[in-house]
Amino acid sequence: MTTPPLPTPEEIRRIACLMLADLGDALVVTPALHALREKYPHAAITVIVRANVAPLLSHNPHIDALLIYRNDKAWGKYLLLWRLLGRRYDLWVDLHTPTFNTFCSNAEVFKRNAFLMRLAMPRYRAGFALAELAPFLTHPVPMPTDTELAGENIVDTTLRLLNQAGNRHYKKAFYLSDASRRRAAEVIEHEGLKPPLIGFFFGSKQPAEVWREDLAKAFLENLLERHTDISVLIFGGEIERPAAERMCASLPDHKQARVRNFAGRAHLQHTGALMERCSTIVTSNSGPMHMADGLNLPMVALFSSRNYLPIWLPINKQAIVLNHPVECSPCLAMACPLAHPCVDLISPAEVLVAFETLRDRIKANSNYP
């Protein structure tokens, strides 16, 4: 299959980009949005996103507007359909990739996407040539083979849509508002926390990626014991909040004084601004990992083996990835079917060594704290 060249900039004034997946997915398409802006510098680019991920893109300079899908409301789907009806975009770009989906089937996703695209009636339509979508595309992008998909970062897969795969000029990016940065500075000052600050996240919406609570607690205790100069900021959502509270409560007073729990207490922009003030992030494979990657922060990233490892790896060069391959990989399951998640093979001691290795590298480059 040969894809015709995308329309010229003179032909395109209004662009719609569809991305209805979750936190990490919204950030891995930011390189493609950058490439799209460079190709169409004068077009108005609208990105269609779920309400919960909108703060990740709300200050992105390559986007002119967000069209919000209120998936938390019963009427949200119908409102989106009404807003799309006959919008007559010049170019529609489906930013979803045909990679190995662990939430639902790709067929289900792309049937929905085809319906939304046809409803909007765009003049030109670009996306991957899956069976559910290809008949309606004017610019079908050839499907990568399974071997290619398994060995390729999701950023590069998305950039295939614009013939830019492997172009590291386009980086994952999480843009923060000045207000969020000011708020983070005020919070750090109010709490009396001194650098170096270490960010810590151990959870995930997908149980197979969650680092077990007792392991996370042991790492936190060992980190505070071994490095008396640091303070730790715990990040997460409402899902992680109970475990984070238990961890903090179990610490002796002198260690509690150096830990602040923001799990369930900070929105995405505020979390990003707090992360930005950290020297290092220790995180499971999750939305917050991609947030840290989009901020180009040094990180230790903990990965299960439920999916093909190269796909979701961070792309910044200041990352140490920890992973233990297992015979049953990849299972592509949200939760471990054997009830022994492979992410728990990563020990607290191993994470501490990785953190110290990364810290030494940063010190050697005179960028610490």
Judged against a pLDDT cut of 90, whether residue 366 lies above it is answered with no
Least confident residue range of 29-33, 104-108, 292-296: 104-108
Q: For residue 133, name the pLDDT band (cuts at 50, 70, 90).
A: very high
For residues 244 and 253, give the distance between their C-alpha atoms in angstroms, rounded to a whole number: 16
Rounded average pLDDT over 272-286? 97
C-alpha to C-alpha distances, 147 to 100, 165, 214, 275, 306, nearest whole angstrom: 11, 15, 37, 35, 16
Judged against a pLDDT cut of 80, whether residue 11 lies above it is answered with yes
Judged against a pLDDT cut of 60, whether residue 187 lies above it is answered with yes
Q: For residue 113, name the pLDDT band (cuts at 50, 70, 90).
A: very high
Judged against a pLDDT cut of 70, whether residue 306 lies above it is answered with yes
Q: What is the mean pLDDT of the chain?
A: 93
Bridge partner list, 200: 234, 282
Judged against a pLDDT cut of 60, whether residue 354 lies above it is answered with yes
DSSP class of 162: G
* Domains of the chain with bracketed CATH: 9-162 (3.40.50.2000), 178-364 (3.40.50.2000)
Strands in the chain per DSSP E = 14-18, 44-50, 65-69, 91-94, 124-128, 139-141, 197-201, 231-234, 259-261, 280-284, 299-303, 319-323
CB atoms near residue 33 (< 10 Å): 26
**pLDDT tens digit sequence for 249-271:** 999 999 999 999 999 999 999 99
**DSSP sequence for 211-246:** PPHHHHHHHHHHHHHH-TT-EEEE---TTTHHHHHH
**Does the bond joining 140 to the residue before it have cis omega, within 30 degrees of 0?**
no
Judged against a pLDDT cut of 60, whether residue 367 lies above it is answered with no
pLDDT given for residue 80 in this prediction = 84
Judged against a pLDDT cut of 60, whether residue 240 lies above it is answered with yes
CA angle 78, 83, 86 (to 5 degrees): 115
Rounded average pLDDT over 292-297? 97
Rounded average pLDDT over 288-303? 97
**pLDDT tens digit sequence for 314-328:** 998 899 999 999 999
**pLDDT tens digit sequence for 329-352:** 999 999 999 988 999 999 999 999
Rounded average pLDDT over 112-125? 94
For residues 222 and 262, give the distance between their C-alpha atoms in angstroms, rounded to a whole number: 20
| Contact assessment for residue 25 and residue 104, using Cβ atoms and an 8 Å cutoff | no
pLDDT given for residue 1 in this prediction = 60
Question: H-helix or E-strand containing 4?
Answer: none
| Tokens representing residue 367 in the block | 């960028």
| Tokens representing residue 178 in the block | 């000045």
pLDDT given for residue 351 in this prediction = 98
pLDDT given for residue 362 in this prediction = 84
Distance, C-alpha 331 to centroid of its chain: 21
Rounded average pLDDT over 156-173? 93
pLDDT given for residue 84 in this prediction = 85
Judged against a pLDDT cut of 60, whether residue 369 lies above it is answered with no
Rounded average pLDDT over 187-201? 94
| φ, ψ (nearest 5 deg) of residue 74 | -60, -30
**pLDDT tens digit sequence for 200-236:** 999 999 999 999 999 999 999 999 999 999 999 999 9
Judged against a pLDDT cut of 90, whether residue 310 lies above it is answered with yes
Bridge partner list, 125: 92
Q: For residue 166, name the pLDDT band (cuts at 50, 70, 90).
A: confident
pLDDT over 70 percentage in the chain: 98
pLDDT given for residue 75 in this prediction = 75
**DSSP sequence for 247-270:** HHHHS-HHHHTTEEE-TTTS-HHH
